[in-house]
Amino acid sequence: MNTIKSYPWINHFLGGPTGYVVHVQGGQVRHQGVGQAFWYRPGISVLSEIPVEDRELPTLFHALTQDHQDVSVQANITYRFTDPVLASARLDFGLKKRDEAPATGAQQVETIIGQLCQAAANDHVARFTLADALSNGAAPLRDVLFGTLTRDARLQDTGIAVLGVHVLAIRPEAEVERALQTPVREQLQAEADRATFERRALAVERERAIAENELANQIELAARRENLVAQEGANARREAEERAAAAGIEAQAAAERGAIAAEAEAGRIKLVGEAEAAREKAAMDTYRDLDQGILLALALKEAAANLPGIQNLTITPDMLGTALTALTAAKK
């Protein structure tokens, strides 16, 4: 960016790094270049500053296809001023005061390049139908625009070099674009539906496989449970049989033990009875040889031993007489 300082009857100019200044005084170029610093008299001097950096020009224009369809072309052009002195002589890049209208050199360049692009695009797009123009893409139109701009004599005479052209988009009108997108959208929708159906079919197939697997597992579990129940029944029957056999053996053993005990008891009773009978027989044999009085005394003794306690005893004369008689007879 340049800096101008004003003094009485004279000014000082200090240029920037991207501005090529041309100082003309009396029809002669006094100073030129980038980053210049000099004194000049404003009343007799003309200063022009031409940008020397690469400049980007976005542009949008319309063209008509062979089938009378309007398309919009969005492009970006990169250019540079290769001869700033020539450009200052052909275009208005003069430095103006603040209260004056700015220079129109940059707008002139944009207008020239835009018109050239418009004309070249019209000539190119008019040879194709809308479908062909869209299917060809941006590359053919980019080459056409670049060739047109680099060969244009006016740009060359003005000291302008086009460095590159980028066609960003070629689009029809919105309604036509939606109409053209419909088949593709329908196809994409059909593909999406097909993918959805296939996914659902796959899900159903997987669910069927899972259900079959679960059913097979249930059948296998039922078969195993049946085998388990049968085995448990067999085990229960075998256990019952074993318990019954053990109970039978125990009952038989108990019966045998009872028979042996009964037989032993019978033998014991028999022996006791025989001993009692032998004792009674021996006693009877002993009593058989004794006197009647002695037997009576023994009987009385035995009876007295088994009688309850006697509080009062009454002896009649008959009883006393009989006892004395028996006693007297015994002494004899």
Closest by Cα among 67, 68, 76, 54 to 138: 76
- Residue-wise pLDDT for 254-271, tens only, equals 888 888 888 888 888 888
76, pLDDT greater than 90:
yes
CB atoms within 10 A of CB 78: 14
Q: Torsion angle, CA of 150/152/153/156, rounded to 10 degrees? A: -30
Mean pLDDT of 50-64: 90
pLDDT over 90 for what percent of the chain? 19
- What is 54-172's CATH superfamily? Band 7 domain (3.30.479.30)
Query: What is the arithmetic mean of pLDDT over 245-254?
Result: 86
Q: Which residue has the higher pLDDT, 315 or 272?
A: 272
The yes-or-no verdict on residue 19 having pLDDT over 70 is yes
Tell me which of 51-55, 82-86, 250-254, 308-312 is least confident: 308-312
Does the model's pTM come out above 0.75? no
Tens of pLDDT, residue by residue over 39-51, are 888 888 888 888 8
Cα–Cα distance measured from residue 328 to residue 332, given in angstroms and rounded to the nearest whole number: 7
Confidence of residue 179 (pLDDT cuts 50, 70, 90): confident
Residue 332 has pLDDT above 60, yes or no: no
Per-position DSSP letters for 126-181, written without gaps between them: TTS-HHHHHHH-HHHHHHHHHHHHHH-HHHHHHTEEEEEEEEEEEEE-HHHHHHHH
